[in-house]
Amino acid sequence: MIITALTSFDVRFPTSRHLDGSDAMNPDPDYSAAYVVLHTGSDLEGHGFCFTIGRGNEVCRAAIDALAPLVVGRSVADLGEFARRLTHDSQLRWLGPEKGATHMATAAVINAAWDLAAKAAGEPLWRYLSDLSPDELVDLVDFRYLTDALTPDEARDILAAALPGRAARRLVLERDGYPAYTTTPGWLGYDDEKLVRLSKEAVADGFSLIKLKVGLNLEDDIRRLSLVRAAVGEDVRIAVDANQRWDVGSAVAWMTALAPFRPWWIEEPTSPDDVLGHAAVRSALASLGGEDHRILVATGEHVQNRVIFKQLLQADAVDIVQLDACRVGGVNENLAILLLAAKFGKPVCPHAGGVGLCELVRHLSMFDFVAVSGSTDNRMIEYVDHLHEHFLDPAIVRAGAYVAPTAAGYSAQMHGESVRQFAFPEGPVWSGREEV
Amino acid sequence: MIITALTSFDVRFPTSRHLDGSDAMNPDPDYSAAYVVLHTGSDLEGHGFCFTIGRGNEVCRAAIDALAPLVVGRSVADLGEFARRLTHDSQLRWLGPEKGATHMATAAVINAAWDLAAKAAGEPLWRYLSDLSPDELVDLVDFRYLTDALTPDEARDILAAALPGRAARRLVLERDGYPAYTTTPGWLGYDDEKLVRLSKEAVADGFSLIKLKVGLNLEDDIRRLSLVRAAVGEDVRIAVDANQRWDVGSAVAWMTALAPFRPWWIEEPTSPDDVLGHAAVRSALASLGGEDHRILVATGEHVQNRVIFKQLLQADAVDIVQLDACRVGGVNENLAILLLAAKFGKPVCPHAGGVGLCELVRHLSMFDFVAVSGSTDNRMIEYVDHLHEHFLDPAIVRAGAYVAPTAAGYSAQMHGESVRQFAFPEGPVWSGREEV
């Protein structure tokens, strides 16, 4: 199967109008996707995207277009070679390497190629991936810059060790789904009444962990956390997320003030680039949570590539690895990150929400459970209840768990009408020709 | 003075036709600039650019255009606030933060603003900057994510300590220039005869350090290094540059093989993101160089921002800090990096070459000597002898030293005819209407 053409789209949802997605660093996001379709000359298409929060989405789209010459005319038979071709282009690499807008665009294109391959095989991606042998999976990974922490042989051993239980774990997923947690209640732009109401609803819906945004105002955070703790009781886990708001010292001071409310993890306490900073925060928080609970450190949604993840693990800087489906180099680099996390024994709790991230990451976590870590202990996928209606194969969460997807592909495809309506700036939603 | 408009250009030089600039990771670069002009409604314009090696230059240009709404209508009176506005835009920040194509575009725009401010003051940038007080300089720096390593008070102390000798050091620069080293002989694409001839010429021209590209083939590297060592003698320093070719283990093994030729530093032994990897390489190389010389570790041209530089210094991972004028957030972030290097006592040897980097970094190093570190010990600016003819105020090196520039501005302005001729893809050089 040969890719005959690549088309790209700038799709933006005006989420800032209702403050969905508002946090300490992102007060008014317009959740957006730089969206790509790989054509094959038949009905079969591969869809993919990277997620942005508005301005700059056109830069990611330009970066997708820059990748077209590397993709058109290529097959998706060897997706290891396909991915390396994109990340190793000697001239484009200068804009990274493997970071920022060009790497996000690479994610979009690689995800689209996987969507295409899984559709051609008639399998949902998580099943398609977990049918591959350890050797085939190892060939998908770019081990450059990883071998001081993870060699191909070690990766093969991890995958081989998970071979025996694959079929049984697939059945578990198809019966029970994969654990979810929710961020829906906790956006900073929501008032106290909405926060408490949504928190109670989340618990009633079966979620055992809810996440609150923090970091803008300490008094507000104390009040909000105290309200939610009172509303949900002691047994529900509450994670907090600072979205990179703090320096190391502020992170420690702020979390010291929040510790009495027993936050489960602090997410993105500081710069996602700051491996040593996260290690310092984690070390300082070790004694704060009391005897029965240490406040965990989580990060990953803005971690640019496997090299930073490798160091976060080498430096023992994080407890929770929050991979993102669309920031690193797509399925291939996320496979590397899952293997790194397995090697270091850390749970992966993917970042989701945004546009279509819930749709994608469920495949990665389910594949991880079947074929890599073999565990769901302390592992959950983030869930946010918005924008799913734009996808052909939307994420479904029941009783606090993601239902295993069954449709062929990577669930990345949006309805054509959504792409048309929300096209920026010419679509009717943005040109003022239609109300939302 | 208000910026009334921003215009951008995609300028590419077909350097791949002669293998200038070829190294182990970049076999056929077309040295390029995403170029920006800030207009003021008068004759005064601010020029800036970021450097790329060809494909993808249009992505940086798109990112420059994305910054236009944050710039047009603004004054350059407070360039600290100006720079923070660009890097803190909540939506654009999602594409980084502060890395990759959008950060390179930010560099271009911030550099253009400094060019404008220095031109308005009638001073070359290095003099203009070194007339500012410690308080004014501290206000230019974004200390977010730095305060665990460098506080504003510490920065102020460093700058205050350098106040007394400013005038004397200016005179030294105006008399002697600033030390340079050359990469001109060492491109991988050059044959042995050209390598040896250019190396001898470099020594005759007064350079005391020359740099060779390595990392593609060990036997070739041994032969080339041995030829150059024989040609230049024992007293000339030879640095080698692997351009990120290796994993940690390969870096150590390769440099062990090259150690007998006494390389002065190994540059970019591995991923620029890999702080811990550089620390491991540096530690392993410590015993290799014999009693009189430890092989130093250098990196920086691809280091994305001050947060990675901070960690490279915190982890004692580098000996030489190689800032780049156009990859991090322009003059402001480079001021942060100069201060960090001063705090940790490491010399800065800026990356140059490319398009216009020699023109820019001489201002930063000269400012560092006058107002920050106060020293040129073990400090040199890279020099590569190409593409200078396209600039109004080209870098001039005499007897192995950069001559202090005297023209007002940041020396970033290209000849209009160069921008026109080399415009991609419509300029005559690329559209085939003129021979180069």
Closest CA in chain B for residue A274: B307
CB-CB neighbors (< 8 A) of B104 in chain A? 95
Kindly list the catalytic residues of A: 213, 351
User: In 3-state terms, what secondary structure has residue A246?
Assistant: coil
Closest CA in chain B for residue A69: B55
Cβ-defined contact of B56 to A102 (cutoff 8 Å): yes
Cβ-defined contact of A58 to B66 (cutoff 8 Å): yes
Mutate one of B91, B299, B301, B310 to test the A interface: name it (highest A CB count within 10 A): B91
Cβ-defined contact of B91 to A58 (cutoff 8 Å): no
* pLDDT score recorded for residue A1: 87
Query: Considering CB atoms only, which of B54, B244, B275 is closest to A311?
Result: B275
| pLDDT confidence band for A289 (50 / 70 / 90) | low
Residue in B103, B211, B213, B310 annotated catalytic: B213
CB-CB neighbors (< 8 A) of A67 in chain B? none
Cβ-defined contact of A25 to B272 (cutoff 8 Å): no
Q: What mean pLDDT do residues A103-116 have?
A: 98
Cβ-defined contact of A101 to B95 (cutoff 8 Å): yes
Cβ-defined contact of A147 to B249 (cutoff 8 Å): yes
pLDDT in tens, A49-96: 999 999 999 999 999 999 999 999 999 999 999 999 999 999 999 999
Cβ-defined contact of B305 to A90 (cutoff 8 Å): no
Cβ-defined contact of B26 to A277 (cutoff 8 Å): no
* pLDDT score recorded for residue B17: 81
pLDDT in tens, A12-43: 999 888 766 677 777 789 999 999 999 999 99
Q: Nearest C-alpha of chain B: how many angstroms from A98?
A: 8
Would residue B213 show up in a list of annotated catalytic residues for this protein? Answer: yes
Cβ-defined contact of B55 to A63 (cutoff 8 Å): no
CB-CB neighbors (< 8 A) of B54 in chain A? 91, 94
Query: Considering CB atoms only, which of B30, B144, B308 is closest to A247?
Result: B144
| pLDDT confidence band for A200 (50 / 70 / 90) | very high
Query: Considering CB atoms only, which of A53, A56, A95 is closest to B66?
Result: A56
Query: Considering CB atoms only, which of A29, A59, A274 is closest to B145?
Result: A274
Q: What is the average pLDDT value for chain A, to the nearest integer?
A: 95
Cβ-defined contact of A55 to B62 (cutoff 8 Å): no
* pLDDT score recorded for residue B290: 63
Closest CA in chain B for residue A22: B90
Would you give per-residue pLDDT tens digits along chain B (436 residues)? 899 999 999 999 998 887 666 777 777 899 999 999 999 999 999 999 999 999 999 999 999 999 999 999 999 999 999 999 999 999 999 999 999 999 999 999 999 999 999 999 999 999 999 999 999 999 999 999 999 999 999 999 999 999 999 999 999 999 999 999 999 898 888 899 999 999 999 999 999 999 999 999 999 999 999 999 999 999 999 999 999 999 999 999 999 999 999 999 999 999 999 999 999 999 999 877 666 679 999 999 999 999 999 999 999 999 999 999 999 999 999 999 999 999 999 999 999 999 999 999 999 999 999 999 999 999 999 999 889 999 999 999 999 999 999 999 999 999 999 999 999 999 999 998 665 4
Query: Considering CB atoms only, which of A102, A277, A302 is closest to B59?
Result: A102
Mutate one of A53, A90, A93 to test the B interface: name it (highest B CB count within 10 A): A90
Q: Residue A61 to residues A7, A92, B425: CA-CA distances in angstroms?
A: 10, 15, 19
CB-CB neighbors (< 8 A) of A28 in chain B? 90-91
Is the pLDDT at A209 greater than 70, yes or no? yes
Element (H, E) at A65: helix A57-71
Q: Nearest C-alpha of chain A: how many angstroms from B199?
A: 27
Is the pLDDT at A436 greater than 60, yes or no? no
Query: Considering CB atoms only, which of B59, B273, B305 is closest to A95?
Result: B59
pTM of the model as a whole: 0.97
